[in-house]
Structure 1
Amino acid sequence: MAKKKKKNLEQAKKQDQGLQGKIAQFKEFFEESQVELKKVTWPTRKETLQMSGTVLLFVAVLALFLGLVDVTLAKIIEAVLS
């Protein structure tokens, strides 16, 4: 019985140390993340608006192009099938 209790105590200690190790790794990860975020060069409001406008314009042009291709191919297929 004494061996069984001793073994259970040893296992409990190992699990507790494993949990503490995971918590330490978690803390270290967030500390390193904060350091890296301080190194980031964030865009200005003007840059963000310019890039957003560029993306929206590109999406509109691409949508128009794909719409025209779709209509053209639909007409071609309709002509072939009739």
Structure 2
Amino acid sequence: MQRIVNFFKDVSSEMRKVSWPKRKELTNYTVTVLATVVFFAVFFALIDTGISELIRLIP
């Protein structure tokens, strides 16, 4: 039981040392990630559609 208590004390101690991003940084990172995901989703959808159309042209 003492090992578990020590583990959580250590976790708590380490979490205080973490450099958390500010709200503006977090917003910027979130927008960047979402924009990248949307871009690649559209890109791969177009590629997939193009390849599907090419395959349909083959008799």
Under a length normalisation based on structure 2, what TM-score does the superposition of the two structures give?
Answer: 0.95
Q: 1 or 2, which has the higher helix percentage?
A: 1
Under a length normalisation based on structure 1, what TM-score does the superposition of the two structures give?
Answer: 0.69
Q: How many residues align?
A: 59
Gaps of at least 5 residues in structure 2 are: none
Large movers: runs of 4+ above 2 Å:
none
For 2:28, which of 25, 50, 53 is the aligned residue? 50
CA distance in 2, matches of 1:61, 1:47: 21
Q: Over aligned residues, Cα RMSD in angstroms? A: 0.7
Which protein is bigger by CA-based radius of gyration? 1
Q: What does 1:2-81 correspond to in 2, within 5 Å?
A: 23-80=1-58
Gaps of at least 5 residues in structure 1 are: 1-22
CA distance in 2, matches of 1:42, 1:63: 30
Post-superposition Cα deviations, 1:49-76, rounded to whole Å, max 9, x if no partner, equal 0000000110111011101101100110
The percent of aligned pairs where both chains have the same amino acid is 32
